[in-house]
Structure 1
Amino acid sequence: MQLYRGRLIDHLHLVVRDVKASRRFYGAVLEVLGVPIGGEAEDYFWADELFVSSADSRAAQGVLTGRHHLAFQAKDRAMVDAFYQAGLAAGGKDNGAPGERPYHPGYYAA
């Protein structure tokens, strides 16, 4: 069976130092976006095409992911605002309050 959805990325694997803290954060912000956690174990979790594991998981090969930037799509500004609040409440770092960004006209992000 051939799987092709026409998207740029099939999946993304992040290897993190603290998988429990990452689970809290991603669980909170993805809930706002309407994306459920698809599965989890002690050393990993996944949601849609995002897979997050600890460095000692079988898939990680013992190497942490370096600095990264992920941009999730939201349906409207209210969802961006809620995502921002949920991220902060779940231990996320504030890299900029919700507002327009210069990426293209009308781009609203946090």
Structure 2
Amino acid sequence: MLDHFGWNVRDLARSVAFYERCLAPLGLTKIDAGDGFAIFGDRTRDDAPYLWIGTLVPSFWTGEHRPGAAPIHVAFRAPDQRAVDAFHREGLAAGGRDNGAPGRREDGLTYYAAFLIDPDGNNVEAAVRLAR
């Protein structure tokens, strides 16, 4: 459904370190990087959505795009509960803040999830859907 998504960060090195650690348990790695940006995705699939983060502002973005201007929420699909646990643990170790420990959630759907606040104040989640 999604092709890619992205946002600006204040400190690229700090954000890359955070996302490298918390996304690794989900099978996502840094697949490209350049002056002012990094891209994370699934190396095993060319058709998988990817995440772009950067300090540069692409020409097609508006002046409203800036770090932390409107904190976002994004949820990454996890393969299992252990990956959700590892996402949370590694994200905390990389400087993220806890915004919901790993556990069962029931909010229309039944799932197991954990939440972190990234270095720019965004709410990032890892989740695996559970059988009803």
Q: Do the structures match in fold with TM over 0.5?
A: yes
- The runs of at least 4 aligned residues of structure 1 exceeding 6 Å deviation read none
Structure ranking higher in strand proportion:
2
The offset of 1:42, in angstroms, is: 3.6
Which residue of structure 2 aligns with residue 26 of structure 1?
19
Q: Which runs of 5+ in 1 are unaligned?
A: 1-6
The offset of 1:26, in angstroms, is: 0.6
**Deviations 1:39-86 (CA, angstroms, capped at 9, x unpaired):** 1124110012100011xx151666314201111111111111011000
Structure ranking higher in helix proportion:
1
Question: CA RMSD of the aligned region, Å?
Answer: 1.6
Residues 8, 57 of structure 2: 8 Å contact kept: no
Which residue among 60, 66, 72 is the counterpart of 1:68? 72
Q: Percent identity?
A: 39
Which residue of structure 2 aligns with residue 37 of structure 1?
30
Task: Calculate the TM-score normalised by the size of structure 2.
Answer: 0.69
Aligned length: 100
Which residue of structure 2 aligns with residue 94 of structure 1?
98
Q: Which runs of 5+ in 2 are unaligned?
A: 42-49, 115-132
Task: Calculate the TM-score normalised by the size of structure 1.
Answer: 0.82
